[in-house]
Amino acid sequence: MKKLIIAAMAIAIAAPLAAVQASPKSDLENMRSLMFKKFPGVKLAEYGNGVYAIDKVRYDEWKSMEDDFPPYEPGLETGEKLFKKYNVGKCFPKGGIGIKQDYPKFNAKSGEVETLEGELMKCLKKNGVDLKAEKLSFKKGKFAAIAAWMAYKSRGNKINVVVPNDPRAMAIYNKGREFFYAKRGQLNFSCADCHVHNPGAMLRTMKLSPVIGQTSHFPAYRKKWQGGGGNPELAGFGTLQRRYGGCNKMVRAQPLKFKGGQHPTYVALEYFHTHLSNGVPINAPGTRQ
């Protein structure tokens, strides 16, 4: 605990880069130039490797594990089977194959932003799947395995989140942006304090990853989640919004909960946050600690 507080103080000194109203285009340009300055030599595509993009020693260890024994493989097979069993393909463009890079996506008819997982849940309901009996719920387990398989089928496609010049889309984008830069929790940290101002710094034994590329490998497969109960092959999977909850807890803030769905603020955050990874190839599911 003591160590965390010391790290917290060191991080809090960093000047906040926030507030000024900006456009999605300039947000993206500014973030890229900031990160490229911090990590010269790391190419845009490599940011999808998260913290391993900026740490050679950890990279080598992680890469050989990903290449030799990807621990998510059995779970992905289950994800594929369930995708077929529940007829998920018929709810999505292109039969649900190779589309992850376009999400979150603004729907001009409804005025809402749709995440892939949000649409997947709508699809399961529409297809009459008994969610309770099948033990399907947002964020983890079988549900996340289906989403992970869909993301896996989009590997190599570059993230391409579009924020159109529509006040409804901009309002959601700005809501996500605000959440990203707002201080919260007992430690009074914003997402940006850790992932924009201090990537590369240590927090206990963890090295902080840069914000660019953070979304490319989600749903991810984590050692930490694997032990969380249930079938470990599936328990290791978690969606991006599951990870948001973890990062909120890290600063002693309550993760946002929304009965029966995704919290609109996390949807907005996902929209803003994923847009910052535009141009990074999808490489989900990524294995993480």
- Which residue's entry shows tokens 């079988």? 142
Four-residue CA torsion sign, 64, 43, 288, 78: negative
Non-local CB neighbours of 180 within 8 Å, separated by 6+ positions: 190, 191, 192, 269, 272, 273
- If the CB atoms of residues 12 and 131 are measured against ligand HEC, the closer one turns out to be 12
221 is a contact residue toward ligand HEC (CB under 6 A): no
Please, are residues 214 and 281 in contact by the beta-carbon 8 Å criterion? no
Q: What is the distance between the alpha carbons of residues 86 and 70, in angstroms, rounded to a whole number? A: 26
Question: Using CB under 6 A as the criterion, what x/- string covers residues 47-86 for binding ligand HEC?
Answer: ---xx-----------------------------------
239 is a contact residue toward ligand HEC (CB under 6 A): no
In the list 99, 123, 251, 267, the residue contacting ligand HEC (rule: CB under 6 A) is 251
Burial 82-110 (b: 16+ CB within 10 A, else e): bbeebebeebeeeebebbbbbbbbbeeee
143 is a contact residue toward ligand HEC (CB under 6 A): no
193 is a contact residue toward ligand HEC (CB under 6 A): yes
- If the CB atoms of residues 88 and 274 are measured against ligand HEC, the closer one turns out to be 274
CB of 86 to ligand HEC, least distance (A): 27
List the structure tokens of 10.
Answer: 């060191």
- Nearest to 154, CA basis, from 219, 107, 68, 62: 219
Count of residues that interact with ligand HEC, criterion CB under 6 A: 22
CB of 127 to ligand HEC, least distance (A): 30
145 is a contact residue toward ligand HEC (CB under 6 A): no
CB of 140 to ligand HEC, least distance (A): 15
* Choices 97-105, 111-119, 139-147, 193-201; region in contact with ligand HEC by CB under 6 A: 193-201
In Å, what is the CA distance from 14 to each residue of 32, 46, 195, 232, 256? 18, 25, 12, 39, 26
In the list 248, 277, 278, 283, the residue contacting ligand HEC (rule: CB under 6 A) is 248
In Å, what is the CA distance from 228 to each residue of 67, 224, 281? 25, 7, 29
Q: What is the distance between the alpha carbons of residues 232 and 72, in angstroms, rounded to a whole number? A: 10
206 is a contact residue toward ligand HEC (CB under 6 A): yes
9 is a contact residue toward ligand HEC (CB under 6 A): no
203 is a contact residue toward ligand HEC (CB under 6 A): yes
Please, are residues 283 and 221 in contact by the beta-carbon 8 Å criterion? no
105 is a contact residue toward ligand HEC (CB under 6 A): no
* Choices 64-72, 87-95, 97-105, 247-255; region in contact with ligand HEC by CB under 6 A: 247-255
CB of 186 to ligand HEC, least distance (A): 11
**Which spans of this chain sit near ligand HEC (rule: CB under 6 A)?**
50-51, 189, 191, 193-195, 203, 206, 208-209, 214, 220, 243-244, 247-248, 250-251, 269, 273, 288
